[in-house]
Amino acid sequence: MTGADAGAIHATAVATQIAGDWRGVLLTGASGSGKSDLALRLIGEGWRLIGDDYVHVWRSGGAVFATAPDQIAGRIEARGLGIVATPSRWISRIALVVACGQVPPERLPEPDHVEIAGLRLPCLTLDIRPASATRTLAVALSSGVRQV
């Protein structure tokens, strides 16, 4: 994905406030990799949904932003339950990309990145199954240790 407007991408986006500033995370991975499950757990910890399954991303002022298409805004799929309303935000700047999976990542991986809308963003590979996954993600986002 390159250019100022990357368009709609297959990802779930969530955001949280850190020191008064909203910071967003793009949760990426194949269908069934646990993106919505991880997002629901984060929402349970006070995060807000930007968009589930597909989000529109673009570059502006040296940052990447995401929003949900109107038809799915404020709703997320809770597997086994269906589509449900959830606390959400209309837009957020994206500060981190998380590659969701169900395989333990390396213990001490080298910093990684992905390019979205022509900008390089830090990327964290995360096994979404452990209860600690939400905390690991929050630490990576707030500490900046994943910057590349």
Condensed to tens digits (0 to 9), the pLDDT of residues 136-145 reads 999 999 886 5
* 9 close to 1: Cβ distance less than 8 angstroms: yes
Average pLDDT over residues 128-134: 94
* 28 close to 38: Cβ distance less than 8 angstroms: no
In a domain, 148, yes or no: no
**Secondary structure class of 86 (helix, strand, coil):** coil
Q: Give the per-residue pLDDT at 116.
A: 93
- Structural domain harbouring 125: 5-12+21-47+54-105+118-143
Q: Give the per-residue pLDDT at 129.
A: 92
In a domain, 79, yes or no: yes
In a domain, 99, yes or no: yes
Report residue 4's pLDDT band, with 50, 70 and 90 as the boundaries.
Answer: low
In a domain, 111, yes or no: no
Cα 92 from Cα 74, distance rounded (Å): 14
Residue position matching structure tokens 């630490």: 139
How many separate domains does the chain show? 1
Q: Give the per-residue pLDDT at 79.
A: 86
Residue position matching structure tokens 């169900």: 102
Condensed to tens digits (0 to 9), the pLDDT of residues 71-115 reads 999 999 998 899 999 999 999 999 999 999 888 777 767 768 899
Q: Give the per-residue pLDDT at 133.
A: 95
In a domain, 29, yes or no: yes
The CATH number of residue 86's host domain is 3.40.50.300
pTM: 0.89
H runs (alpha helix) in 1-148: 35-44, 133-143
In a domain, 60, yes or no: yes
Instruction: State what percent of residues in the chain have pLDDT above 70.
Output: 92
* 2 close to 59: Cβ distance less than 8 angstroms: no
Q: Give the per-residue pLDDT at 62.
A: 93
